[in-house]
Structure 1
Amino acid sequence: MADDDLEQAGPIDFVIVEFPAGQSNFSGEMADELVKLVDAGTIRLIDAIVLAKDENGDVEAMELSDLDDLGPLAALEAELAEFLAEEDVANLAAAMDPGSVAGVLVYENLWAAPFAAAARRAGGQLIADGRIHTQAIVAALEAEAQAELEEEGA
Structure 2
Amino acid sequence: SAWMVLSRNFVEFFIQGWDNLPRILLMYYSNFISSSEFYFQTLLCNSPEFTTTVINHDLRYISWDNPPKQHPRNLASADLHNIISSKAPFARKFRVNESVLSRIDEEFLNRHGIGDENFVPGGWCSGLPMCSEVGDERRIEPGAGARRLAQLMDGLLKSDRFKSNQCR
Q: When the two structures are superposed, what TM-score results if normalisation uses the length of structure 1? A: 0.28
Identify the structure with the greater strand proportion.
1
Q: When the two structures are superposed, what TM-score results if normalisation uses the length of structure 2? A: 0.26
